[in-house]
């Protein structure tokens, strides 16, 4: 699904150059659950922005589903992003005065999915995260864990091929964080690709593979052995 080769990103400010990525190479197959780890300044946020089409690299190549992003216009990238990618953020990014239903509906407003089909898609997404009883509750009245589950439902509503989760447990207590990770695990078990960005080792170990970044390069890229045991230990 994702092929990265010698990826580089350099930021220029006046006469100062900062190299955020210094030649990163890896691939991610459909259906993988991958964690990207690294300390502050390691390049993981820059990498996430490039992978999710929020930014373009200054060197190297990136192919998504076999197509180079160099051959795609900004409009085409936006269309692929809206259709094939779902996003879960640390800060939830919900509209507090809107209901759960209305928040989950937002990505559909920018899609070409028929209005007649939207209600079922929204209800199914909300059901998948166990919030049917809160469907018409304002988002601002929910707990942190419930808000993140709404964010996951919103990410799912367009039926994306890949879900990007950026520090999804960062603002949650341990129990709520575990519930969110279990939902991501369940989605991965159903065949969705999940890319999780985190600085927490326990969170990263919910994945099947961990890519560690340091100073803009890959420090290690390893599959987690006996992954089920790792997940069981977290529970």
Tokens standing for 82? 């809206």
Q: Are 121 and 189 in contact (CB under 8 A)?
A: no
Q: What is the pLDDT of residue 224?
A: 84
How many CB atoms sit inside 10 A of residue 74's CB? Answer: 9
Q: What is the pLDDT of residue 226?
A: 55
Question: What SS3 state is found at 190?
Answer: coil
Q: What is the pLDDT of residue 91?
A: 87
In tens digits, the chain (235 residues) has pLDDT values of 999 999 999 998 877 889 999 999 999 999 999 999 998 889 999 999 999 999 999 999 999 999 999 999 999 999 899 889 999 988 889 999 999 999 999 999 988 888 889 999 999 999 999 999 999 999 999 999 999 999 999 999 999 999 999 999 988 999 999 999 999 999 999 999 999 999 888 899 999 999 999 999 999 999 986 554 455 455 5
Q: What is the pLDDT of residue 90?
A: 86
Which residue, chain included where needed, has tokens 């079922």?
A: 120
Which residue, chain included where needed, has tokens 């937002």?
A: 106
Question: What SS3 state is found at 124?
Answer: helix
Taking the whole predicted model, whether its pTM rises above 0.95 is answered as: no
Tokens standing for 24? 């990163």
Q: What is the pLDDT of residue 112?
A: 83
Within 13 Å of residue 169, how many CA atoms lie on the same side as its CB?
Answer: 22
């Amino acid at each position: 699904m994702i092929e990265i080769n010698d990826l580089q990103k350099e930021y220029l400010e006046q006469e100062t150059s900062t190299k955020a990525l210094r030649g990163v190479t890896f691939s991610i197959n459909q259906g993988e659950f991958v964690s990207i780890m690294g300390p502050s300044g390691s390049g993981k946020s820059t990498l996430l922005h490039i992978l999710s089409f929020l930014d373009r690299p200054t060197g190297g190549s990136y192919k998504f589903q076999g197509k180079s992003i160099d051959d795609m216009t900004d409009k085409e990238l936006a269309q692929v992003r809206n259709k094939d990618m779902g996003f879960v953020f640390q800060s939830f990014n919900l509209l507090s005065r809107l209901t759960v239903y209305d928040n989950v509906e937002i990505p559909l407003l920018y899609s070409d999915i028929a209005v007649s089909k939207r209600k079922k898609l929204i209800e199914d997404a909300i059901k998948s995260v166990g919030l049917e009883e809160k469907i018409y509750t304002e988002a601002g009245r929910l707990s942190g864990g419930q808000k993140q589950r709404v964010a996951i439902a919103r990410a799912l509503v367009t039926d994306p091929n890949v879900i990007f989760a950026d520090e999804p447990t960062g603002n949650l207590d341990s129990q709520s964080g575990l519930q969110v990770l279990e939902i991501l695990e369940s989605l991965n078990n159903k065949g969705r690709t999940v890319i999780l960005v985190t600085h927490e080792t326990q969170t990263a170990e919910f994945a099947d593979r961990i890519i560690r970044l340091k100073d803009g390069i890959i420090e290690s890229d390893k599959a987690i052995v006996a992954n089920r045991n790792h997940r069981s230990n977290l529970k």
